Amino acid sequence: VQLQASGGGSVQAGESLTLSCVASGSFFTINNMGWYRQAPGKQRELVALVTRSGSTNYADSVKGRFSISTNNAKNTVYLQMNGLNAEDTAIYYCHAALQYSSWGNSYNFWGLGTQVTVSS
């Protein structure tokens, strides 16, 4: 299984970016997909997560600005980021928890990360 993220870049404060991440490979189901980020000198933190049932969870710092969505048919998760500010500058990592069978354990996978830089 591989997670391929795209959409990072450099923007000015107040602008928007959309990140995409597609899961490829052979698996039974994806239980949840999400985005984490890690800024220099800081720990990796959850940004947003969406479950197979459609439930979402957001970090307080991005609520009202970021929106996570999925295309289940394409095993893809998106992160629409609006109103970006300098504090959003980080490497953004795609994450997926998936199963290889209906009775099996859930396994975690990570993408390589995509850089988001916001200039004030």
Q: Give the tens place of pLDDT for each residue, 24-36.
A: 999 999 999 999 9
> What's the pLDDT tens digit per position in 80-96?
999 999 999 999 999 99
Is the sign of the CA dihedral 11, 51, 64, 44 positive or negative?
A: negative
Confidence of residue 12 (pLDDT cuts 50, 70, 90): very high
What is the average per-residue pLDDT within 48-74?
Answer: 96
- Whole-angstrom distance, CA of residue 11 vs CA of residue 23: 26
